[in-house]
Structure 1
Amino acid sequence: MARTALDGVDVAVLIAPEGAEQVELTVPWDAIRDAGGRPRLISTTGGRVQAFDHLDRADTFTVDTTVHQVTAHDFDALLLPGGVANPDYLRTHERAVAFVREFFDTGRPVAAICHAPWILIEAGVVRGRTLTSYPSLRTDLVNAGATWVDREVVVSTEGPSTLITSRNPKDLPAFTKAIVEEFAVKTTA
């Protein structure tokens, strides 16, 4: 069998118990899996998590493990789906914020879409970086020391960790392409 881009790459996908935008979870998840990667769903509690389609409840997903049971060292990369409630909850959870910060402290690549950069602000990892997000986060990111740009995908290499960001679900094709490319480069180097 031919080797694929992310063979053997373990990716943590961090979401809150409720509030993740389903398409921002499932489309990157499928792209990672299709490229040979192993995505694992991480949350603040075990059991099942509730995804949303904008403001409507969508599907539920089984949590693989919690942020209390793992560290960044257990993974090669991190994916942060958006949705308004998802990162808003995670940025108030001390262990979730520490888990995100560990990926930057250890030089592992991170991808965040839509409202997910809120948790990056809380983790203190955006200063000096160029990134994008849902437009309503622009002021928050600039106030936290980031340079905000309006592009479908931005790959920031201004620190030890590569950071991939996108604005919204319309950007998912570019976002997933960048995730596979950058996770492959950073985890197989």
Structure 2
Amino acid sequence: MSQSCNLFLEKVKQFSQCVMAPKALIFLASGAEEMEFVISADVLARGGVEVTITGVPECTLVKCSRGVRIQPDVCIADAAKRVPFDVIVLPGGLGGSKAMAQSKEVGELLKEQEASGRHIAAICAAPLALKAHGIARGKNLTSYPSVKNELLDGDHGYQYKEEKVVIDGTIITSRGPGTAFDFALAIVEKLQGKEKAQEVAKGMLLSC
């Protein structure tokens, strides 16, 4: 086969991979836990997932829980025009989680995501936003330990687990900063397969 033909086929392969890349939307609100946000965004990108960061409520510079400032890509109104996303990711941090819980736009996106059978992933205190919007009723989940009782209060029927990452159908939850790599790799595995997740973990010198 000629060199030009090989180059053409390689370009076609790269184009196909780009077109078929899974898409992730990550919410970012004031008070978000920056480790959980950055690790999730970074690991997903390493896993070949196209990541969009949306500010809640606006596309302004976001001050995270430890003072790190991050600029979102788009505001949430614009993000809503880009659906569908293969996964919506909610980082923790109490302030950020409360902002997501209070956002009508977040609720609408999450409800549409769940109704369509696509993935939703929340870590640390972020499952509180799932509860606020009536998401994942009756599902197995986990969270940061201090919000466990608040999650279980009410009639949502959550089944609480103490594992690092809990997956129940299309719902993925995790516990906190120390489990952020496990959380992000679990999302990569769901979207791109176990082999890809292992490849990403190996590149970061992590076990998967």
Q: TM-score higher than 0.5 here? A: yes
Question: Structure 2 matches for 1:79-158, cutoff 5 A?
Answer: 79-143=89-153, 144-157=156-169
Shift of 1:181: 0.5
Q: Are positions 1:65 and 2:78 aligned together?
A: no
Distance 2:125 2:72 in 1: 21
What's the offset of the Cα at 1:104? 0.6
Taking structure 2 as the reference length, what is the TM-score of the superposition?
A: 0.77
Name which of structure 1's ranges 65-74 and 129-138 shifts more when overlaid on structure 2.
65-74
Residues 140-166 of structure 1: CA deviation (Å, up to 9, x unaligned): 222332011111010111xxxx11111
In structure 1, stretches of 5+ residues that fail to align are none
1:165 aligns with 2:173: yes
Normalized per residue, the structure richer in helix is 2
Identity of aligned residues (%): 28
- For 1:119 and 1:169, the matched residues in 2 are separated by 18
Alpha-carbon distance in structure 2 between the residues aligned to 1:66 and 1:35:
24
Name the larger-Rg structure.
2
Larger displacement relative to structure 2 (93-102 or 125-134): 93-102
Three-state SS of the structure 2 residue aligned to 1:79 is strand
Counterpart Cα distance in 2 of 1:150 and 1:11: 26
SS of the residue corresponding to residue 79 of structure 2 reads coil
Runs of 4+ in 1 over 4 A off after TM superposition: 1-4
Matched, 1:28 2:40: yes
User: Which residue identity does 2:191 align to in structure 1?
Assistant: F
Runs of 5+ unmatched residues, structure 2? 1-9, 194-208
- TM-fit CA distance, 1:107: 1.1
Residue 110 of structure 1 aligns to a residue whose secondary structure is strand
User: What amino acid is the match of 2:74?
Assistant: T
For the aligned residue pairs, the C-alpha RMSD in angstroms reads 2.0
Structure 1 residue 46: Cα displacement: 1.4
In structure 2, give the amino acid aligned to 1:29.
Answer: A
In structure 2, what is the Cα distance between the partners aligned to 1:109 and 1:22?
Answer: 22
Aligned residues: 175
Q: Secondary structure at the match of 2:102?
A: coil
Which residue pairs with 1:14 in the alignment? 27
For 1:109 and 1:74, locate their aligned partners in 2 and report how far apart those are by CA, in whole Å: 11
TM-score, with structure 1 as normaliser: 0.85
2-side partners of 1:74 and 1:127: how far apart? 22
Deviations 1:47-72 (A, max 9, x none): 2212223xxx12x2222112222337
What CA distance in whole angstroms lies between the structure 1 residues aligned with 2:137 and 2:60? 35
8 A contact 1:130–1:146 mirrored in 2: yes
